[in-house]
């Protein structure tokens, strides 16, 4: 099943997010995403405004990282967004970019993402049992202290890495190939996902693929293209070398 989504950067007045989401829902989009990029607004309050202004669309963040936001805070925030949207939330998790700005240099990002997803799910289930982990353990004996609407909120993994997909495949319902509008990468990642899912005893078709890129829409085509170039420039250094289907001149 193909779903069409729209994503917003979190650089707007708080009052703008509700009307934007309502307009997107009225236009027929299936999913509304907000980014959580470094130095922009955290995604949670924009998502809350969007949840209050919509009725049907799926809502989520793509993506939050476990290095600047601990899984216990991720779990609490996404549980509240899910409650506010009456069960329409999804959670996107990724390694993240530009972390060096705050002096964060992850040495075990694959392990961190795998453990973060497990930790968030454990917390959403309000399971008081201990959870082992090298980076995000839980000592047990307690859990989230309010009634969570859904313990099975869908998880999206933002990554280009086969190793990361294989490590996290048991926890996720979708992989996002962020910063790309190249359909040529989809068969490559479909093979990786199907293989990883089979090794984990899952059906690969139960793990979707999301692909998306910066878009600019304007009645003035020249202005739209000029702005698109400037907006894409932010992400190009992060993803340009990751696409296995392209040969780009540096």
Output the pLDDT for position 247. 66
pLDDT at 181 over 80: no
Rg value, the chain, Cα: 18
Give 145's DSSP letter. S
Give the H or E element holding residue 62: strand 58-64
pLDDT at 96 over 90: no
Give 121's pLDDT tier (boundaries 50, 70, 90).
Answer: very high
> What digits encode the pLDDT tens for the residues 16-61?
999 999 999 999 999 999 999 999 999 999 999 999 999 999 999 9
- The whole-chain average pLDDT of the chain stands at 93
Give the H or E element holding residue 193: helix 186-199
Greater model confidence, 250 or 209: 209
For the four alpha carbons of 82, 91, 145 and 131, in that order, the dihedral sign comes to: positive
What gap in Å lies between CA 210 and CA 213, rounded to an integer? 10
pLDDT at 234 over 80: no
Which two three-digit tokens encode residue 218? 């304007």
Which parts of 142-181 fold into alpha helices (H)? 162-168
* Unique residue bearing structure tokens 């994503």: 7
Give 178's pLDDT tier (boundaries 50, 70, 90).
Answer: confident
pTM: 0.88
Give 248's pLDDT tier (boundaries 50, 70, 90).
Answer: low
Contact of 182 with 238, CB cutoff 8 Å:
no
Q: Which domains does the chain have, with CATH numbers?
A: 5-239 (3.20.20.30)
Please give the average per-residue pLDDT across 113-119, as a whole number: 98
> What digits encode the pLDDT tens for the residues 124-164?
999 999 999 999 999 999 999 999 999 999 999 999 999 99
Contact of 158 with 174, CB cutoff 8 Å:
no
């Amino acid at each position: 099943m193909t779903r069409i989504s729209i994503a917003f950067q979190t650089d707007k007045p708080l009052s703008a997010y509700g009307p934007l989401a309502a307009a997107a829902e009225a236009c027929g989009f299936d999913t509304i995403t907000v980014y959580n990029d470094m130095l922009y607004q955290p995604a949670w309050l924009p998502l809350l405004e969007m949840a209050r202004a919509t009725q049907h669309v799926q809502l989520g963040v793509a993506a939050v990282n476990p290095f600047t936001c601990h899984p216990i805070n991720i779990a609490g925030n996404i549980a509240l967004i899910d409650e506010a949207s009456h069960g329409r939330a999804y959670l996107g998790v990724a390694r993240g970019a530009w972390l060096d700005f705050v002096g964060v240099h992850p040495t075990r990002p694959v392990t961190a993402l795998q453990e973060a997803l497990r930790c968030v799910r454990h917390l959403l289930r309000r399971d008081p049992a201990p959870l082992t982990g090298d980076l995000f353990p839980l000592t047990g004996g307690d859990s989230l202290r309010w009634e969570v609407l859904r313990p099975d909120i869908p998880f999206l993994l933002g990554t280009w890495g086969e190793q990361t997909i294989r490590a996290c495949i048991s926890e996720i319902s979708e992989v996002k190939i962020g910063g790309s509008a190249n359909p040529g990468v989809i068969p490559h990642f479909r093979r990786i996902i199907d293989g990883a899912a089979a090794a984990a005893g899952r059906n690969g078709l139960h793990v979707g693929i999301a692909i998306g890129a910066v878009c600019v829409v304007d009645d003035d085509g020249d202005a739209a293209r000029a702005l698109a170039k400037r907006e894409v420039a932010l992400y190009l250094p992060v993803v340009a070398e990751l696409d296995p289907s392209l040969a780009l001149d540096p």
